[in-house]
Structure 1
Amino acid sequence: MPSPRGLQSATGADGEILVAIDLGTTFSGVAWTHTARPGTHTVIDQWPDEHDSLDGITSAKVPTEICYDEDGIRWGFQIPASRSRY
């Protein structure tokens, strides 16, 4: 049976993990919680940068952007400032 309001869940012996994805037109975000710990939630705030490192990019939201170039596909903070983006 689908979860209410379109929430996706994974059921296990110890409860469920609920994931919320905010796909925005400018920025997007992700958060999750475990039903065994009511009231506790985790916002994803570490995102890869243009060097595929998580060291410098800490943000509750990531730019909703994508770039197609000779190096492949890049998204969010991975896109160098000099590149075109969609």
Structure 2
Amino acid sequence: MVGIRWFASLSRGLENFYFSRYRPALIKEKREIDDFFMIITFSEMMGIPNPFMLYTLEMLPELAPRFHDWHKRMGLPHSPFDHFPCLNCC
């Protein structure tokens, strides 16, 4: 009798087989979507009107720890906001 563990193992194996070719492209696409989301979330601080401000404002505490990695990846050595300093750059 074949157990559930065998099916789970088979599923992971097939997933690795089919997605291994596309994994770098999927990771790059996810990073680009995350970067766009960070720009939308922090756009109000940049002076860009944000139509989703009420929804993205509550995401700021969740995204604050990832802010340092984001502004480094965007090529900014320090936080671009005077009133929102990066805790890792100080």
Shared fold per TM-score greater than 0.5 = no
Higher strand share: 1
**TM-score, length of structure 1 as denominator length:** 0.29
Higher Rg of the two aligned structures: 2
Q: Per chain length, whose mean CA-contact separation is higher, i.e. which structure has more relative contact order (CA < 8 Å, sep 6+)?
A: 1
Higher helix share: 2
